Amino acid sequence: MKLLHLFSNHKPTGPAEPAVRLAAALRDRGHEVLFAHAAPPRPNAGYMDSRAAEYDLEATSQFALNKHFKTLSVWRDARRIARFIDARGFDIVHCHLLNDHLTAALAARKCAARPAIVRTNHDAVPMRPHLRNRFLFPKRTDALIELSQAALEQDVRTFRFPREHTAVIDTSVNLARFDPERHLPDMRPRFGVNQDAFVVGIAARIQGRRRFDVLLDAAAIARTHVPGLRLVIIGRGTHKETVAVRPAAERGLAKTVVFPGYLRGEDYVAGLLSLDAKIFLVPGTDGSCRAAREAMALGKPVIAARRGMLPELVADGETGLVVDDTPENLAEAIIRLARDRGLCRNMGVAARRTALDRFDPARQAERVELVYRKLLGRG
C-alpha cells in the first residue's frame, strides 16, 4: 500500500514520536510510506525533520501544515496535497492532528481517485464536538483509531460514527530503549539515594495543575511509615520553586524529595530504572500517558490516578495500583508497595510483560494495517 502520513506541526511534542514510529513500522512491513510535517523555522536537531531522520523515514516539509487553523493556508495545502496524492497514487492518508485531518478531508474532495482518510485520536480523551470535528465526522472520515476504549465510546455517540470503522489500538514505546536488561549507569548515587531506600518517582513538567500538592502531602504521610522513602521528581518548570521545592521544604521533606532536574537521553531511562515504582497523576499534553508506558516497559509498577485513560493502561493490583488521588490514598499505595517488595517486583514483571504485548511498534503497525486493508477491501 501507498501511505501518506500527515502531521501538522514542526515540534516533536505529544504524539509526534509515536506517529513517526508507526510510520516507520509500517514501512518495515513493506509499505511505501511518506511522512509529511510542517517545516521547522530554522535548522535544529530537535524538530520533526530530525525525528524522521532517526528512523530513516522518507519525509517532506513542502506543505505548510500549520498547527493552528489558518483558512488560506489550509485551502492552499488542500489543493497542493490533492495534486500530490494524484501524482503519487496514495491509497491511504493517515492524519494525526486536527488541522492535518481537515486539510486531508478537503484535499480528498479534489482528488481524481479519492484516498481513504484515517484519523488517530492521540489525546486518548473524547474529541470536542466543535464545528471542524462535526465537519469531519462522520462523512469525511473513513476510519477512526483511538487509544482509549472510553474515548471511542463517547466519540461514536457524539459524532454518530459507524462502530465498524473504528479500532482501539495502543500507541507504541521504543521497547529496545526501555529495556530493563540494558546496562545503564546507576543513578541512585547521583540522586544521593541509598541502595536500600524505597524510591518512588514522577517524571512531569513541574506545574501547579499536575497536583504536586497532593503528591507532597502523600509523601509526608508515607514517610512516617516508610523511613527510607525517597521521592524523585524528574522535570523542570518555570514555577518549580513555588510549586514543588518550597512546598517540599515546608512539609519537612527536604531530605526525602530529590530534584534531579530535566533528564535527557540515556540519563532519563536510567533515572526511571532507578525507581522502585512510578507515580502518574495527571495526563499532560500527551494523553497517551507515554511516561507511564515507558516505566511499564522498564518493569516498574505504576501508581496511577483514576484519570484519563490511566485505568485502561494500568491493571489495578496486577501491573500497579489505581487510586482516587487523595493524599491518603496515594500514601496508602506507596506504603503497600514499600512494605511488600515482592509484590512490587511481581507487578513490575507483569508491567513489562504487558508492555511487550501491548506497546510493541510492530504489533501496532500490524493492527493499523488491518484497518487499512478493511477500508480497501483487501483483507
Q: Are residues 118 and 255 in the same domain?
A: no
pLDDT at 82: 97
Counted domains in the chain = 2
- Which residue matches cell numbers 480523551? 125
Mean pLDDT value across residues 338-356: 97
What average pLDDT does this structure show over 173-200? 94
Closest CA to 65 of 87, 47, 53: 47
Which domain CATH number covers 137?
3.40.50.2000
> Poorest-confidence range of 46-55, 173-182, 224-233?
46-55
Average pLDDT in the 349-357 region?
A: 97
Residues 59-102: tens digit of each pLDDT: 999 999 999 999 999 999 999 999 999 999 999 999 999 999 99
Residues 71 and 198 in one domain: no
Q: 160 and 221: one domain?
A: no
Any idea how long the chain is?
379
The pLDDT, as a whole number, for residue 94 is 98
Phi, psi torsion values for 224, nearest 5 degrees: -70, -20
Give pLDDT, residue 262: 93
44: confidence class by pLDDT, cuts 50, 70, 90:
low
Give residue 72's pLDDT: 93
- Which range has the worst mean pLDDT, 84-88, 97-101, 188-192, 208-212? 208-212
180 found inside a domain: no
Instruction: Indicate if 192 and 112 belong to the same structural domain.
Output: no
CB neighbour class for 315 (10 Å; exposed up to 12, middle 13-18, buried from 19): middle
CA dihedral 332, 333, 335, 340 (to 10 degrees): 140
Query: Per-residue pLDDT averaged across 28-46, rounded?
Result: 89
Report yes or no on whether pTM surpasses 0.75: yes
Average pLDDT over residues 106-118: 94
Which pLDDT does position 13 carry in this prediction? Answer: 79
